Chain A
Amino acid sequence: MIVARSRVAVVDDDESVRESLPDLLREFGFAVAAFSSAEEFLASDYVGQTDCLILDISMPGMTGPDLQRELTIRRHEIPIVFITARRDETVRPLLLEQGAVDCLFKPFSDTALLKALNNVLRVS
């Protein structure tokens, strides 16, 4: 069951991701905002109003896990789905352990993404 108009934020330094992923998520029915860096996201209004955060792991400046820790510190309990182009299977359990909902390796299918988002929204 899908809760309409849940708000999703995408944080990725890769432009093609910021172009393509919001379109897909909108097709799914989410309200989407895209940010090119963790710092940009933290500075925005979305921090307190986001139902799910799709977050790139490796970025210049603050990385995905850095942002995760920062949000924990700020007590913003936003469910996070990590995405990364670096296929490192050892990273995934670490991230899940630290509270991430899922971790997707690029390139991922739309179903994999939808499944992850469902998990998020189910939890929330």
Chain B
Amino acid sequence: MLLDIEIVRYFQHQPVLRSHRPTYWRQGHADADTGGGSVPKYRGRSPQSGASFCHDEYRERTIMENELGSVVDALPGLVWTALPDGDIDFINQRWCEYTGLSVEQAYGRGWCASIHPGDLPGLLQLWQSMLASHEPREMEVRLRRFDGAYRWFRIRASPLTDVSGRVVKWCGLNTDIEDRRNADEVLHAQERRFGLIVDGLPTLVLGMTPGGEIVHANRNFLEYFGVTLQEVQSRGKFYCDHPDDFLRVTTAWSKALETGQPYDVEGRRRRFDGVYRWFHTRAFALRDTEGRIVFWYSLSSDIDDQKRAEALLAGEKRLLEMVASGHPMSRILDTLCQLVESTSSGCYCRFVLVDAAGTRFAHEAAPSLPASFISSIRGRLVNLDSDPCARAVYLNQQIVAADLTSETRWPEWCLVAVAHGLRSCWSTPISSTAGKVLGAFSIFCEEPRTPTSLDQKLIEQVKHIASVAIERTQCDAALKRSEAFLAETRQLSLTGGFFKRMATGEITWSAEVYRIFGFGPTVPVTHELIRSRVHPEDIPAFEEILEREQQGSDYEYEYRLLMPDRSIKYLHVVAHATKDRDGQLEYIAAVQDVTQRRLSEEALSKVRSELARVARVSSLGALTASIAHEVNQPLSGIITNASTCLRMLAAEPPNIDGARETARRTIRDGNRASDVITRLRALFSNKDATTEAMDLNEISSEVIALSVSELQRSRAILRQDFADDLPLVIADRVQIQQVILNLLLNASDAMSSVDDRPRHMVIKTERDENDHVRLSVQDAGVGFKSQDADRLFEAFYTTKSGGMGIGLSVSRSIIESHQGRLWASPNKGPGATFFFAIPCRRDLVVGTHSPSPVWAPGVTDAQRAMRNP
């Protein structure tokens, strides 16, 4: 380009050429200068043929022209000149070489053949206008090369004027710009592509000068705000930011401009339709190699959905925290309303909750709606016709009232709503996870609206949060009640718990265990601490349990604590082994202070022996006949023998042998009587029997309760099978209990040597024929032979080494004194069953006991296992 200018200047400043019109530069025709026949090196024609120059002048000129011709040919372009009328009168060698056209072909308008047909009309038009206006102009056109290929050239032409300003010649230079143009094309294509990309970016893009003036805005930017670039430029980039954000974002921008640091803010920006959306805007400075800012560009991303989701998420988290920390339901729902109201402007929320039956409203939350609109709904019936909320709950479906002014379903309610500036209402039922309708959530808007898909999404989320919050609050309340109940129960039952992690030896006690052990709740729990309280006699058992814990099996045991005040506590521990997530062994255990129970048991044991004694004493009345019989038999023998003896001695002659025999028998019977007395000494007292109406089941249960520890000791397992329609009997309570006790202890004793089968016992009551009530005790013991069935009830008949053999005899006496029967029969399997039947009162029937078999409490396999590890 510079070269073009220089050439123009050259021509303009050549006084010769200006003063003397260059009428002849080089004859294009073959002449002497170039040698005939040779291809003319310089092509030109004189506009004025037949010039008359003097020789010297001619020579001088010829020299000059030769020099000039060399320069023109050396120029890196195609050079030409034209006459003022536009006809070409000169072309340089390069032109000819490039186009492959001869000078003759190019002259006049011949050169047009070298122009691309598509460019020619435009070029000719420009050329005409130039010729008319005498203005220097340029144009880019495609020139055909000699081989037919086209290359882009820039054609520049300037007029050459004489002193009077008249155009005498047009000088032209065609420069090959094909390569540059290709490069430009690439550049332009890149620019276009870049522009498209920027326009297509889903962000708002601005380009700015280092001073912050807007020079570019992408299509999204203009479309979002609904403005033109010029409008943005005139109004400034912040004119549609939210007033609440304005100060913050402008301050940040000023700071960025000042420091060159990136600008990074979040704020609400008003869309063309007036809706504000959240944007995250970042601006960066572009710097040149010396670090100077040359350009700012800013990117704004729409984060409204994200913001909304974040707000909801944060809200959800806050709400769940509120639920977890036990906030009241009303506050939780208020917060949820406010959360929704904060995410979409111009809307108000309301919750209504129904009672457990689902028929009446129990709660309401509407923190932003006026009280005059929300009259208390509590206690009102759920129905179709009062308002959209009730209808949504009633039908369990979403109710949309898009325009309350044209709504006909709830005319009265709509009047009030419209009077409060509300125009639409959407009510959505809230259900529990089990599908039960808990209540409804309503959104009121100040404009007539139907929920968009975005609104529905929000409603779904709120519904979910509300359902979780309500359910959890309700569960929490129930759990709290249950926990309080459990705590109270634990305290009442003196039961605590501990947790033990075997890998670390870490032990955690509940408050009650601290209370039981008498330690402060902050004392760290260690085995040493526990051992310091364990009764010295129970230390070995305690150590054994610690060892057993290592094996990871469940256990149950009792031990005693020796408290600092020398009092003794009895503890019952049941421990269950589990594995944690890492497979580490853990124990969770219940610890119960059973001191009171133990003391009660001891007291009961005393009562039981007292009862047994009393029973024996009382039963003596019934026993008297038996005793008399037992004593009178030998006495009778003694007296008879003695009489006989006397008579034998008095005879003549005295029967000495007979007398001796009878005397010997007398001594024998005397000893027999003495034995009876010795054995009965323990029962040597009497007391009047008293009778009353009573329930055999009830008194049996009392006896079982008294016998449990005795049965446990002998490892007997007792099953109760009580008839539930048993009539009352008239009997001496203590005596009958003595019989039952006797039968139970006998049954238990009969099984003491049994080790190859369970020591099962069944105590059964039932109606017997002839208005009798029957009780039986079945055992799985050694049994008896049927021929011994009668002897069983004889006094002093016993199969037990330590027994006195009086129990069954006394028992039979007692039962007979009640007009009843006592008998026994061998079982089909092992053991025997003892029965008694006594008459009942026909007018008294009670039924307090379960007919189904119940294993006696306290006699469990676990306890058996505990006793026999």
Chain A residues with a Cβ under 8 A of chain B: 14, 16-17, 19-21, 23-24, 27, 58, 60, 83, 85-88, 105-110
Contacts and interface: CB of A to CB of B under 8 A. Distances in A.
B636 A108 contact: yes
A23 B644 contact: yes
Interface stretch (B22-30, B170-178, B624-632): B624-632
A23 B637 CA distance: 11
B658 A107 contact: no
B634 interface: yes
A110 B639 CA distance: 8
B641 interface: yes
Contact of A20 (B630, B641, B672): B641
Q: What's the dominant secondary structure at chain B's contact region?
A: helix
Nearest to B669: A16
22 contacts: A16-B633, A16-B672, A17-B636, A20-B636, A20-B637, A20-B644, A23-B641, A24-B644, A24-B647, A27-B644, A27-B647, A27-B651, A58-B629, A60-B790, A83-B636, A85-B629, A85-B636, A88-B625, A107-B632, A107-B635, A107-B636, A107-B639
A110 B640 contact: yes
Contacts of A14: 633, 636-637
Which of B629, B636, B644, B651 counts the most A-chain CB atoms under 10 A from its CB?
B636
A107 B638 contact: yes
Contacts of B638: 107
Contacts of B661: 23
B662 interface: yes
B790 A16 contact: no
Contacts of B672: 16
Interface in B676-716: none
A94 B589 CA distance: 73
B628 A86 contact: yes
Nearest to B638: A107
Given A24-B647, A88-B625, A109-B643, A16 B637 contact: yes
Interface string B847-869: 00000000000000000000000
Given A58-B629, A107-B639, 8 more contacts: A16-B634, A16-B669, A24-B640, A106-B636, A107-B632, A107-B635, A108-B639, A110-B640
Contacts of B669: 16
B648 interface: yes
Interface in B611-661: 625, 628-630, 632-641, 643-644, 647-648, 651, 658, 661
Contacts, number: 76
A112 to B, nearest CB: 10
Contact of A85 (B633, B647, B658): B633
A14 to B, nearest CB: 5
B572 interface: no
A86 to B, nearest CB: 5
B821 interface: no
B665 interface: yes
Given A16-B633, A16-B665, A87 B639 contact: no
Interface residues of B, number: 27
A20 B665 contact: yes
A60 B634 CA distance: 18
Closest 10 CB pairs of A and B: A16-B637, A106-B636, A110-B643, A85-B632, A20-B640, A107-B636, A107-B635, A107-B639, A24-B644, A27-B647
Nearest to A58: B629
Contacts of A17: 633, 636-637, 640
Contacts of A20: 636-637, 640-641, 644, 662, 665
A106 B638 CA distance: 10
A110 B661 CA distance: 18
B636 A110 contact: no
Nearest to B636: A106
A46 B641 CA distance: 25
A21 B637 CA distance: 8
B643 A87 contact: no
Contacts of B668: 16
A104 B825 CA distance: 36
A103 B790 CA distance: 26
A16 B636 CA distance: 8
Contacts of A107: 632, 635-640
Given A88-B625, A110-B640, A19 B635 contact: no
A106 B635 contact: yes
Contacts of B662: 20, 23
- Candidate in B632, B638, B647, B658 with the most chain A CB atoms within 10 angstroms: B632
A106 B637 CA distance: 9
Contact of A24 (B634, B643, B790): B643
A105 B636 CA distance: 9
A26 B633 CA distance: 21
Nearest to A21: B640
Contacts of A105: 632
A27 B639 CA distance: 15
Contacts of A88: 625
B629 A23 contact: no
A93 to B, nearest CB: 18
